[in-house]
Amino acid sequence: MLGRERGDRRRRLLPLPDLPGAVKQFLGAIARPGLPAGPARRPGNPDAVVDCAVYAGGLRHGGAAQLPYPEAARLAQRRRGAFVWLGLHEPDLATMRPVAEVFDLHELLVDQAVSGGGHRPGVETLGDVTRLVLRTARYVEHDRLTATSEVVETGDVTVLIGPWFAITVRHGPVGPLWEVRKELQNRPEVLSQGPWSVAYAVGSRMVDSYLDVAEHVEHDLERIEEETFASDRTSEFAHIYQLKREMVEFKRAVLPLAEPLSRLLESHGLPAGLRPYLEDVRGRLSRAVDRVGGFDDLVNSILQARLAQVAVDQNHDMRKIAAWAAIAAVPTVIAGIFGMNFDVMPGTEEPWGFYAAVGTMLLIGGGLYHRLKSSGWL
């Protein structure tokens, strides 16, 4: 009897067969009526996948429809010369783990792709996968530059380049890549170069955005320069410090990219057909670096000029205060002398004494005013 009860208990504790999820939850609730059914686990961030397609011979296969990346990976591996371009936006770890399994990514690449935000531009290679990091930049429109105005908004893009795939991971609202994909699909001669064409297209778009931001910043600097040397300028200059801080953020996006781009051009894995295009990107980046460096010098010059103007204005105010203090000292001294409590004071008992004292005050004070006015103190 006891053996039969133990056998029945063991049979009740056996795992449920592999049934659909809803059926398994229902049977589990019956078997354990006292335990509530737990919430269903989310499979990651489904909105992280922006687009996924297979490219071969410079053309997108399957039309504009988005393919699941496991299916796209199988199609690309079966066809010679094909590759997958998977676009992700701020994926979480639950989303990146299946992607890493499909594309055989190193765990360090997964962690770096998930963390995002604030990465310095750079390039590194782990196994067969090259990781290229670029900073995105966008000019924030504003009517007037203030002490809290945001001038440049930045983010980052990570491009993972493998033998048969290219994965772009973007963090932040800046720099959407759907326009890059559309333009590259209209250039089959570049797209036919394989996954490295994605790296070129993304890098080219980032450099173009740097030049666009630099052009808008130039207009801000011109307006600040006009305000600094205007005759009706204000005493505020905190907005110049704000622009300088924004320029520091912009420099961190632009200047460090020169070294990774040079390393890419020296890489043996880069297709020969893409080298002229990357050389053009490096040339445009050099122009952006020169302009950003010039901005920093110009902002420093404007700031130094504004500080010098503040010092001059303060000195001028102090001279005015000293001049009026000297004029005010004349009646103070005369009134103090005649106000002393002595029995014998010349003119105190004369009818003209008061008028003589006031006239002396006005005469000496007027002479001082004329003298100080002509010397520029007033």
268 or 150, which is more confident: 150
Task: Mark residue 316 as left, alpha or beta (left: phi above 0; alpha: psi -120 to 50; beta: remaining).
Answer: alpha
**pLDDT value, residue 22:** 42
Q: What is the pLDDT of residues 50-87, one digit of tens each?
A: 999 999 999 999 888 899 999 999 999 999 999 999 99
Residue 42: name the closest of 88, 94, 97 by CA: 94
Is residue 40 scored above 50 in pLDDT?
Answer: no
Question: What are the φ and ψ backbone dihedral angles of 150, each rounded to 5 degrees?
Answer: -95, 120
Give the mean pLDDT of the chain.
83
Task: Look at 229-238, 280-289, 330-339 and tell me which has the smallest mean pLDDT.
Answer: 229-238
With a pLDDT cut of 70, the percent of the chain lying above it is: 87
What is the arithmetic mean of pLDDT over 222-250? 83
pLDDT in tens, 319-329: 889 989 988 99
Q: Where are the alpha helices (DSSP H) in 233-352?
A: 238-254, 258-265, 275-338
Share of the chain above pLDDT 90, in %: 47
User: For residue 336, what are the CA distances in angstroms to 2, 330, 331, 339, 356?
Assistant: 121, 10, 8, 5, 15
The DSSP secondary-structure symbol of 164 reads S
Contacts of 61 (CB under 8 A, 6+ apart): 53, 54, 55, 75, 82
CB count, 10 Å around CB of 175? 23
Least confident window among 178-192, 198-212, 236-250, 275-289: 236-250
Residue 39 pLDDT: 32
Q: Is the pLDDT of residue 145 over 60?
A: yes
Q: What is the mean pLDDT of residues 43-49?
A: 65
**Which pLDDT value is given to residue 38?**
34
Longest dimension (CA), the chain: 141
- pLDDT at position 220 over 80: yes
**302 falls in which pLDDT band (50, 70, 90)?**
confident
Higher pLDDT: 373 or 162? It is: 162
pLDDT at 250: 93
Phi (first) and psi of residue 17, to 5 degrees: -65, 170
Residue with tokens 């009517």: 143
Residue carrying structure tokens 């690309």 = 76
Angstrom distances, CA of residue 48 to CA of 51, 73, 92, 188, 265: 9, 18, 8, 27, 31
What is the per-residue pLDDT for 117? 67
According to the model, what pLDDT value does residue 353 have? 79
